[in-house]
Amino acid sequence: MNETGDQAPQFKVQEPGVFTAIQDLGRPGRRIAGVPPGGAMDRFALAAANLLVGNPAGAAGLECALTGPTLEILDRCVLAVTGADFEPTLNGRTVPGWTGLFCAPGDRLSFGGRRWGARAYVAAAGGLAADRWLGSAATYLLIGRGGLQGRPLKRDDVLHRAGAAPRPLVAGRELPQPFRPPYSSEPELMTVAGPQLGRIKAAGKRLLFGQPWTVSSDADRMGYRLEGPELPTTGADVVSFGLTSGCIQLPPSGQPILLMADGQTAGGYPVVGGVARCDLSLAAQLLPGESLRFRETHVETAQAEYRSRWAALARIR
């Protein structure tokens, strides 16, 4: 189902960037049918961008990987850019991230270059219209569904508003730095023990939680293959079972795989840990060659941190 209807065109894509696609907060509840939730890799950043412009947190926006697009503004709006810092500019002037910005027809949003991070998010008041599949506008590239014909943006695409923008348009909302996720060049990801953690010997467990792991070149929205010390496992093969984003699988190579937004819904590799949902936003901002660490924690601690971080979004309202 397409949402475009009679809503006004909002953006014309002058340059699409390396990889820009429409995403929302995904399609939960479909794993039983083999469909991952998908949606934004950095869910906090997309939710914040939406709230900054007066949208519901789950409205559709743009996920921009590696570089940002160049967008011509076709109708007045308030927009916000969050997540990675790709040096956003409006009509050639640098503008702040994590802040609602008023734009008029003819204005141009572009990006100077990557300063840090892997994915930036753009939201506009009223949200973006998209092809919805299983209740979500999220682009699922594997089967070409959702978003804009199930594909990344390309030059000359026109993006429409999904609905009426809030009235009045309010610019200037911001989320101060202390209330954003603790992004860093080598984040420590809160990790709870997985069901097969006992298959790693004590020395291997110390390596899993004590050594940095490098994101390999084999990394995408499905998952990151990590490089580091080999972690041998013991025991018989595992019967395939359900998986979720954040699972740390351990294949026979002994090199972990961290599942991300489009990760498979079932598999037979041992799962030795699970990254807390709130820290998947930190992992989402890593590029190949960058590193992360796993920090063992308890489920209750991870849940409390998740609630605390998302409560910070209330400051935008």
Q: Report CA 249 to chain centroid distance, whole Å.
A: 20
What would the mean pLDDT of 111-128 be, rounded to a whole number? 97
6 has pLDDT over 70: no
Using DSSP, state whether 88 is helix, strand or coil: strand
pLDDT value for 235 = 77
Q: What is the share, in percent, of the chain residues with pLDDT greater than 70? A: 98
152 has pLDDT over 50: yes
All domains of the chain in start order, with CATH: 9-179 (no CATH), 188-315 (2.40.100.10)
pLDDT value for 166 = 85
5 has pLDDT over 90: no
pLDDT value for 4 = 46
| Interhelix angle 299-311/43-52, nearest 10 degrees | 20
Is the pTM of the predicted complex or chain greater than 0.85? Answer: yes
* Contact status, residue 167 vs residue 198, Cβ threshold 8 Å: no
pLDDT value for 33 = 85
167 has pLDDT over 90: no
Which positions ≥6 away from 198 have C-beta within 8 Å?
none
Summarize pLDDT for 197-251 with one digit per residue, the tens. Answer: 999 988 999 999 999 999 999 999 999 999 999 998 887 778 889 999 999 999 9
Show the tokens assigned to 295.
Answer: 């920090």
Of residues 285 and 1, more confidence is placed in 285
Q: Report CA 282 to chain centroid distance, whole Å.
A: 9
Of residues 33 and 275, more confidence is placed in 275
